């Protein structure tokens, strides 16, 4: 791949300055490549090689308690077979689907609602917009701690309030009915600013003409929003949704701090299951297989993003 | 020692307690070598700039005598020769230890500055709650890393950690008279406690600080009496008593921590259920029997019906707090977590607590018995120094001091258990708990063999999940235990064992 | 924002004058709801222990610094030093490797850009456990677990691609005409880059640097698996508080506040680039 790049690369600059000597062109190209090579090498070392290693590991029964398991390729597909047979993997995927569906859905709704509310030029709203960003910029672990406080009956202001008015409520994070929702609520709080920010930018980019046309037609505010604004926002909604979808598969700190996958397996998403298998029960080979599948899914979604919206979306 | 000086935000130099203790180390060691009884540096002493304290102390060698907890004279005397030698050896050595949160860990951690003062070593101890500790330590040990020089071996991991060669064989240390004086008496530890801490060859890999056998304690025994009942002896009586005392005085009848695979087994076995077919030879899980479902269902029902809200996520400490605060009444757990209820300094229920043996089911009583100890991870780079700490923390003098002075109950040194002082101390709220404990120490129950197999942590996780699924009504006992059995079987196979399924 | 957009906004504002107070009220209410969890933790960190579980909540109290004082000295303080060292080092390295690569990608058209782009985006988005398992196994061999350099290298997995992609959007927005003159005069590519382009992209460079620092500061998962004691970072240390200090909520709140404050301040500095940073430059916003 490298050689091909080298020989066929041509710079825009060359086209601009016209009629360069051949040697000069080559030299320029080489110079540019000096800048790219170190980074590519580092990227290969820190991302490509580990991914290959992960795949190789997934073909072994690697387990630190079993000597020699690291190089045991006698049954390379055993982890993948076990994975298909393991009801917990399927269950965890289903839980992930629910978690992703509700978090992304609510984040888009809340993000859109707040974006519409804030979409007007005023110094007050500009200042306020910054405050809305805070949940998103907090370290994820602090977000988890904040919600641990809010979900712990002994000290949570919500629970104390409910107790005071005589309607005590059970702890959400230990209830099978609400544990997943407790994660969803915290995740929506943390990330709706992201969708808000993207949709707000898109709203401010909207072309004038269709909106004016709608006004002339006498469309009501709601109709205008539904039939004119929303379709125009579609690409931005799609991009924001896809990004949140990918990130929703990584909601680790919330689950680590709030529920540890429980109660039972109510919040045992695939990422958590893989973590437990690898680093609590020493099934590194098996966990690698789960992770390989997860990486493939991520790759697919990333490809989808690039295909749908191109490499770069300009929502400015 | 300059690295022990830390800067506070204003940039002013402050001296930490550790720095202070480090500074008096040389003094302490010298004094001991001279054979005089130097009071150990008192943790309560206000930190002073080391530079000014040290010379002053040399001239007046009793700086903190009045505030220091009386140090054991015997300890100083018997350990003087070894410690004096060790003092030179350990100066500048930095030890890292890891313990799981437990009444013992809290106390020994608080006393460790004395070890630092005696030997010159710098000791950092990380303490984590049990589940968290197991997770972290399993990961660390699997790398054979050198992060920790001494660490707890916890019961369910004994086979895995010792069997995989992740801990250091202690026999050479015990046998070498230069490393361990005869008076230290390694054979003094109760056989019941030592059993799980030995490798297949019978070698010892850790020294125990707890022989945990399940007993029963009612923080509010008075409520039972008020209802005209006695402490329950059987599962049926438990339900009768719990129904009678539930929510009386706003107290829940029962409380447990979230380690269901420890708490529930006594009930499962009480109904005649087993976990594995024939451990350690045949690890086929047998959790899908009606007896197991009955026992798990019984226990889950206790959690569901009689416990404070959120009990399913309670840690050991949180469950103990519930009893100390009088928010919950009964708990069936190891004595270490139950004896603090009788301590008026910590507990609101010191005068109402009642103790009893673990209740019987239709098939008999199966109190779970375990032991936890401390050993040296194989990757440690300071094994000799780590042994010095273990020797200090588990010496006859220290164990005696922990139990008699600091009211730590579940000690394993028979020479201390058999003293009148221990008996007196373990007379809790007028009841003879010492003999209940001594009785447990004498047992080596075969029914515990399921627990010390290599893949138990995974089996335990499956049981945990099942019990919590039953307690929250997500599944019937039968369905939940059947799933648990499938999961356990898959995991046992994945760990490289041949089973019948 | 274009001038026509401004005109649109102002005309809309006139038409909707009567709805404005209503909208403001809704916004203020929302702000309170959204900010509440964050503020609760912040306030809790200054509350004396006995007021933490008090109801009704005591709004006016003598704030105490005891929880913060309890954090100084010992491991927690060291974890902050670790986080800072790792954050700064990984930022410098990512910029050093990433910025020239980014410039090359911006200025010269290379075949295979598509797959490279996909690869970089995918690594940015892959679940951390995908890299954690192999790094864990390799570090175990190299004895690099619980080392700061080990952590720095792992953080390159996401930060290097972040720098490459984010800086590219900045370079793309600088007109090429600027380099032309210098290049025609025979100046070298990288000499021109240093003299002409880099100074122009300083704001972008600063924003990117802040992002790389924040991402490494915020990381919890890698540090949880790959560090133990001496290289523990602040997010892991604060969680340790939750497990061994007997649920001392005041200290936990203080620890959490200390982890988040630098982040909040830095993030708000780069708020205009947030979308770009969080989508690894795939989206300009």
Q: Is C157 helix (H, G, I), strand (E, B) or coil?
A: helix
- For residues A192 and A268, state if they share a domain: yes
Q: Name the pLDDT band for C59 (thresholds 50, 70, 90).
A: confident
| Calpha distance B436→B497 (Å, rounded) | 38
Which of A63, A263, A272, A276 has the highest number of chain B CBs within 10 A, making it the mutation to test binding with B? A263
Chain segment B324-363, per-residue pLDDT in tens: 989 999 999 988 889 999 999 889 999 999 999 999 999 9
Do B6 and C73 count as a contact with CB atoms less than 8 A apart?
yes
- For residues C136 and C30, state if they share a domain: no
Q: Which residues of B touch C244 (CB under 8 A)?
A: 101, 126-129
- For residues A263 and A198, state if they share a domain: yes
- For residues A34 and A120, state if they share a domain: no
Chain segment A20-79, per-residue pLDDT in tens: 456 777 788 888 888 889 999 999 999 999 999 999 999 999 998 888 888 889 999 999
| Domain housing A294 | 86-309
- Is residue C55 included in any domain, yes or no? yes
Q: What mean pLDDT is predicted for residues B391-401?
A: 93
Q: What per-residue confidence (pLDDT) applies to C246?
A: 52
| Domain housing C231 | 69-278
Look up residue B119 and give its two tokens: 């030997």
Q: How far is CA B281 from the centre of its chain?
A: 28
- For residues C129 and C216, state if they share a domain: yes
Do C275 and A164 count as a contact with CB atoms less than 8 A apart?
no
- For residues C103 and C193, state if they share a domain: yes
Which distant-in-sequence residues (6+ apart) come within 8 Å of A164 by Cβ? C55, C56
- Is residue A316 included in any domain, yes or no? no
Q: Name the pLDDT band for B54 (thresholds 50, 70, 90).
A: very low
- Is residue C283 included in any domain, yes or no? no
Q: Average pLDDT, whole number, for chain A?
A: 84
Do B310 and A174 count as a contact with CB atoms less than 8 A apart?
yes
Which distant-in-sequence residues (6+ apart) come within 8 Å of C125 by Cβ? A246, A247, A298, A301, A302, C280
Q: Quick check: C284 pLDDT over 90?
A: no
Place of tokens 């924003």: C207
- For residues A39 and A111, state if they share a domain: no
Q: Which residues of B touch C140 (CB under 8 A)?
A: 143-145
Chain segment C143-165, per-residue pLDDT in tens: 899 999 999 999 999 999 889 88
- For residues A37 and A107, state if they share a domain: no
Q: What per-residue confidence (pLDDT) applies to A303?
A: 81
What percent of chain B has pLDDT above 90? 52
Q: Which residues of B touch C70 (CB under 8 A)?
A: none
Give the minimum alpha-carbon distance from A282 to chain B in angstroms, rounded to a whole number: 8
- Is residue C119 included in any domain, yes or no? yes
- For residues A129 and A11, state if they share a domain: no
**Chain A residues interacting with chain B (CB cutoff of 8 angstroms):** 61, 63-66, 69, 82, 85-88, 152-153, 168, 170-171, 173-176, 262-266, 276, 279-283, 286
Give the minimum alpha-carbon distance from B380 to chain C in angstroms, rounded to a whole number: 13
The structural domain count of chain A equals 2
Phi, psi of A164 (to 5 degrees): -65, -35
Assign residue A162 the CATH number of its domain.
1.10.3720.10
- For residues A271 and A197, state if they share a domain: yes
Across the interface, of A263, A281, A286, the residue whose CB is closest to B472 is A263
Please, which residues bridge with residue B152 across strands? B374
Residue among A224, B190, A17, B147 nearest C232 (CA): B147
- For residues C45 and C144, state if they share a domain: no
Among A97-106, B61-70, B155-164, which range has the highest average pLDDT?
A97-106
Phi, psi of A122 (to 5 degrees): -155, 145
Chain C residue with minimum CA distance to B126: C244
- For residues C83 and C162, state if they share a domain: yes
Q: What mean pLDDT is predicted for residues B373-393?
A: 94
Residues 436-465 of B with CB under 8 A from A: 454, 457-458, 461, 465
Q: What per-residue confidence (pLDDT) applies to B80?
A: 44
- Is residue A282 included in any domain, yes or no? yes
- Is residue C285 included in any domain, yes or no? no
Do A315 and C283 count as a contact with CB atoms less than 8 A apart?
yes
* Helix residue ranges, H only, C129-201: 129-142, 148-172, 177-184, 189-192, 198-200
Across the interface, of B96, B127, B143, the residue whose CB is closest to C229 is B96
- For residues C63 and C85, state if they share a domain: no
Q: Which residues of B touch C228 (CB under 8 A)?
A: 136, 140, 145, 147-148
Q: What mean pLDDT is predicted for residues C72-101?
A: 91
DSSP-assigned letter for residue B352: T
- For residues C158 and C106, state if they share a domain: yes
**Is pLDDT larger for residue C109 or for residue C175?**
C175
Q: Name the pLDDT band for C280 (thresholds 50, 70, 90).
A: low
Q: Quick check: B48 pLDDT over 50?
A: no
DSSP-assigned letter for residue B204: B
Chain A residue with minimum CA distance to B472: A176
Q: Quick check: B422 pLDDT over 70?
A: yes
Do A279 and B164 count as a contact with CB atoms less than 8 A apart?
no
Q: What per-residue confidence (pLDDT) applies to B383?
A: 94
Q: Which residues of A touch B133 (CB under 8 A)?
A: none
What percent of chain A has pLDDT above 70? 90
Across A69-73, B294-298, C89-93, least confident range: A69-73
Give the minimum alpha-carbon distance from B341 to chain C in angstroms, rounded to a whole number: 17
Q: Quick check: A129 pLDDT over 60?
A: yes
Domain boundary, last residue among C14, C42, C67: C67
- For residues C154 and C14, state if they share a domain: no
- For residues A160 and A262, state if they share a domain: yes
- For residues C184 and C265, state if they share a domain: yes
| Calpha distance B83→B77 (Å, rounded) | 10
Q: Name the pLDDT band for B296 (thresholds 50, 70, 90).
A: very high
| Calpha distance B83→A89 (Å, rounded) | 55
Q: What mean pLDDT is predicted for residues C116-144?
A: 87
- Is residue C39 included in any domain, yes or no? yes
Q: What per-residue confidence (pLDDT) applies to A10?
A: 41
Q: What per-residue confidence (pLDDT) applies to B442?
A: 82
- Is residue A59 included in any domain, yes or no? no
Chain segment B364-373, per-residue pLDDT in tens: 999 998 889 9
Which distant-in-sequence residues (6+ apart) come within 8 Å of A226 by Cβ? none
Q: What per-residue confidence (pLDDT) applies to B346?
A: 86
- For residues A222 and A141, state if they share a domain: yes
Which of C244, C248, C249, C252 has the highest number of chain B CBs within 10 A, making it the mutation to test binding with B? C244
Residue among B357, B406, B325, B388 nearest B173 (CA): B388
- For residues A136 and A227, state if they share a domain: yes
| Calpha distance A92→A294 (Å, rounded) | 12
- For residues C155 and C26, state if they share a domain: no
Domains of chain B (ranges; CATH) run 1-62 (no CATH), 213-369+450-494 (3.40.190.10)
Phi, psi of A246 (to 5 degrees): -65, -45
- Is residue A70 included in any domain, yes or no? no
Phi, psi of B257 (to 5 degrees): -90, 180
Give the minimum alpha-carbon distance from C170 to chain B in angstroms, rounded to a whole number: 38
- For residues C33 and C80, state if they share a domain: no
Q: Could you tell me if A257 and A144 are in contact, meaning their C-beta atoms sit under 8 angstroms apart?
A: yes
| Calpha distance B468→B261 (Å, rounded) | 10
| Calpha distance B228→B219 (Å, rounded) | 17
Chain segment B440-481, per-residue pLDDT in tens: 888 878 888 888 888 888 999 999 999 989 998 889 999 999
Q: What per-residue confidence (pLDDT) applies to C179?
A: 82
- Is residue A65 included in any domain, yes or no? no
Give the minimum alpha-carbon distance from A135 to chain B in angstroms, rounded to a whole number: 26
Subunits in contact with chain C (3 or more CB pairs closer than 8 Å): A, B
- For residues A225 and A142, state if they share a domain: yes
Give the minimum alpha-carbon distance from C282 to chain B in angstroms, rounded to a whole number: 36
Domain boundary, last residue among C24, C49, C67: C67
Across the interface, of B136, B145, B317, the residue whose CB is closest to C246 is B317
- For residues A108 and A11, state if they share a domain: no
Which distant-in-sequence residues (6+ apart) come within 8 Å of B331 by Cβ? B216, B217, B219, B254, B255, B256, B319, B323, B337, B338
- For residues C195 and C205, state if they share a domain: yes
Residue B4's alpha-carbon distances to B57, B105, B281, in angstroms, are: 20, 24, 52
The structural domain count of chain C equals 2
- Is residue A27 included in any domain, yes or no? yes
């Amino acid at each position: 791949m490298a050689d091909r790049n080298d020989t066929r690369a041509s710079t825009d600059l060359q086209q601009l300055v016209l009629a360069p000597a051949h040697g000069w062109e080559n030299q320029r190209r080489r110079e540019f490549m000096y800048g790219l090579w170190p980074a590519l090498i580092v990227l290969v070392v820190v991302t490509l090689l580990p991914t290959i290693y992960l795949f190789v590991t997934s073909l072994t029964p690697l387990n630190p308690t079993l000597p020699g398991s690291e190089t045991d390729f006698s049954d390379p597909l055993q982890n993948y077979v076990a994975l298909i047979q393991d009801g917990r993997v399927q269950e965890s995927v289903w839980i992930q689907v629910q978690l992703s569906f509700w978090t992304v859905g609510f984040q888009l709704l809340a993000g859109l609602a707040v974006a519409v509310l804030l979409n007007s030029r005023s110094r007050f709203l500009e200042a306020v917009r910054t405050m809305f960003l805070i949940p998103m910029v907090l370290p994820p672990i602090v977000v988890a701690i904040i919600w641990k406080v809010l979900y712990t009956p002994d000290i949570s202001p919500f629970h104390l309030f409910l107790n005071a008015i005589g309607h005590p409520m059970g702890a959400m994070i230990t209830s099978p009915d609400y544990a997943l929702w407790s994660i969803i609520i915290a995740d929506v709080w943390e990330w709706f600013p992201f969708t808000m920010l993207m949709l707000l930018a898109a709203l401010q980019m909207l072309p004038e003409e269709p909106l004016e046309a709608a006004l002339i037609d006498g469309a009501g505010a709601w109709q205008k929003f539904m039939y004119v604004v929303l379709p125009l926002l579609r690409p931005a909604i799609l991009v924001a949704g896809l990004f949140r979808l990918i990130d929703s598969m990584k909601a680790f700190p919330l689950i680590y701090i709030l529920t540890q996958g429980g109660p039972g397996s109510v919040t045992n998403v695939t990422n958590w299951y893989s973590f437990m298998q690898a680093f609590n029960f020493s099934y590194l080979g098996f966990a690698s297989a789960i992770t390989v599948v997860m990486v493939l899914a991520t790759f697919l979604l990333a490809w989808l993003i690039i295909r749908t919206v191109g490499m770069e979306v300009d929502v400015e | 020692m300059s690295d022990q000086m830390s800067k506070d935000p204003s940039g002013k130099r402050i001296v930490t307690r550790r720095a202070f203790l480090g500074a008096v180390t040389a003094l302490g060691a010298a004094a001991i070598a001279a054979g005089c009884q130097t009071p150990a540096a008192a943790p309560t002493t206000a930190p002073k700039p080391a530079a000014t304290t040290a010379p002053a102390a040399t001239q007046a060698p009793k700086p903190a005598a009045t505030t220091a907890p009386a140090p054991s004279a015997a300890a100083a005397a018997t350990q003087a020769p070894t410690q004096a030698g060790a003092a030179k050896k350990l100066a500048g050595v930095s030890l890292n230890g890891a313990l799981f949160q437990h009444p013992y860990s809290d106390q020994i951690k608080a006393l460790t500055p004395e070890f630092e003062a005696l030997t010159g070593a710098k000791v950092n101890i990380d303490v984590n709650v049990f589940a968290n500790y197991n997770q972290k330590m399993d990961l660390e040990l699997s790398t054979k890393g050198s992060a920790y020089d001494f660490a707890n071996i916890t019961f369910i991991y004994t086979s895995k950690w010792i069997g995989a060669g992740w801990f250091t064989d202690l026999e050479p240390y015990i046998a070498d008279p230069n490393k361990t004086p005869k008076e230290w008496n390694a054979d003094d530890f109760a056989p019941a406690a030592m059993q799980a801490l030995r490798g297949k060859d019978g070698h010892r890999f850790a020294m125990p600080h707890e022989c945990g056998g399940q007993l029963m304690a009612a923080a509010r025994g008075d409520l039972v009496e008020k209802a005209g009942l006695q402490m329950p002896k059987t599962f049926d009586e438990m339900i009768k008593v719990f129904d009678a005392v539930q929510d009386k005085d706003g107290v829940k009848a029962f409380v447990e921590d979230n380690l269901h695979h420890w708490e529930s087994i006594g009930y499962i076995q009480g109904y005649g259920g087993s976990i594995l077919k024939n451990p350690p030879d045949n690890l086929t899980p047998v959790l899908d029997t009606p007896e197991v479902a009955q026992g798990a269902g019984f226990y889950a029902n206790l959690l569901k019906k009689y416990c404070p809200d959120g009990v399913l996520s309670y840690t050991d400490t949180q469950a103990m707090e519930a009893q100390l605060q009088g928010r919950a009444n009964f708990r069936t757990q190891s004595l270490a977590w139950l004896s603090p209820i009788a301590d008026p300094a910590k507990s609101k229920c010191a005068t109402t607590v009642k103790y009893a043996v673990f209740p019987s089911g239709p098939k008999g009583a199966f109190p779970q018995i375990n032991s936890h100890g401390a050993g040296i991870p194989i990757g440690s780079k300071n094994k000799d120094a780590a042994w010095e700490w273990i020797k200090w923390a588990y010496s006859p003098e220290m164990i005696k001091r922990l139990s008699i002075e600091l009211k730590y109950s579940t000690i394993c040194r028979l020479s201390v258990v058999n003293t009148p002082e221990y008996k007196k101390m373990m007379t809790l709220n007028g009841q003879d708990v010492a003999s209940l404990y001594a009785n447990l120490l004498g047992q080596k129950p075969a029914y515990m063999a399921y627990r010390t197999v290599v893949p138990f942590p995974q089996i335990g996780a499956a049981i945990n999940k099942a019990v919590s699924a039953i307690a929250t009504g997500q599944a019937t006992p039968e369905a939940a235990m059947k799933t648990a059995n499938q999961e356990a079987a898959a995991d046992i196979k994945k760990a490289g064992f041949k089973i019948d399924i | 924002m274009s001038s026509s957009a401004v005109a649109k906004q102002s005309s809309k504002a006139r038409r909707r004058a009567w709805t404005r107070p209503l909208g403001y009220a809704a916004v203020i209410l929302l702000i309170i709801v959204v900010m509440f969890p964050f503020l609760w933790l912040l306030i809790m960190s200054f509350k004396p222990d006995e007021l933490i579980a008090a109801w009704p909540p005591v709004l006016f109290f003598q704030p105490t610094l005891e929880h913060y004082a309890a954090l100084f000295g010992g491991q927690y303080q060291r974890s902050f030093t670790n986080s800072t060292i790792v954050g700064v080092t990984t930022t410098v390295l990512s910029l050093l490797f990433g910025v020239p690569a980014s410039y090359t990608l911006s200025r010269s058209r290379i075949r295979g850009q598509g797959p490279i782009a996909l690869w970089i985006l995918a690594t940015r988005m892959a679940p951390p456990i995908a890299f954690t398992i192999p790094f864990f196994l390799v570090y175990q061999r190299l004895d690099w677990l619980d080392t700061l350099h080990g952590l720095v290298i792992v953080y390159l997995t996401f930060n290097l691609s972040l720098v490459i992609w984010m800086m590219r959007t900045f370079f793309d927005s600088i007109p090429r005409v600027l380099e032309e003159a210098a290049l025609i005069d025979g100046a070298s590519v990288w000499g021109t880059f240093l003299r002409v382009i880099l100074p122009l992209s300083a704001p972008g460079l600063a924003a990117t640097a802040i992002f790389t620092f924040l991402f490494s500061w915020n990381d919890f998962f890698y540090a949880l698996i790959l560090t133990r004691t001496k290289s523990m970072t602040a997010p892991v240390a604060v969680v340790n508080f939750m497990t061994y200090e007997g649920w001392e909520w005041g200290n936990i709140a203080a620890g959490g506040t200390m982890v988040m404050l630098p982040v909040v301040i830095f993030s708000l500095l780069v708020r205009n680039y947030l979308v770009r940073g969080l989508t690894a430059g795939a989206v300009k916003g």
